[in-house]
Amino acid sequence: MHTAYAGRWYTSIAFVQKTTLVRPGGQRDTATWYESLKGPNLLRIDFGDPAAGRGAIRAPALGDGGALGERSAAGHALAAASLSVVRTR
């Protein structure tokens, strides 16, 4: 598989996601998240306008204090899954 797709795997990806949080009682809060992934270990999520500085960064060097979810040598699961997309053009 590596040989078949060599040079065609994405090494980074960025996307915008509309997120809806349903609170107890049914109230819905929506927000726009700006997500950037690089390699299997670097994930940045900006909650709302990136210029506002509200976000999170997941990188092995940050340790547990800066991690989103569990710390893992394999990287963040979302990053690994998202970067498994193959470029077709």
Q: Give 3-58 pLDDT, tens digit per residue.
A: 777 777 778 889 999 999 999 999 999 999 999 988 777 888 999 888 998 888 88
65 SS3 class: helix
Please answer whether residues 82 and 5 qualify as being in contact, where contact means their C-beta atoms are separated by less than 8 angstroms.
Answer: no
Q: What are phi and psi of 11, to 5 degrees?
A: -105, -15
Total-model pTM: 0.59
**60 lies in some domain:** yes
Number of domains comprising the chain: 1
| Res 5: pLDDT | 75
**89 lies in some domain:** no
**87 lies in some domain:** no
Residue with tokens 């506002």: 52
Q: Which domain holds residue 33?
A: 2-82
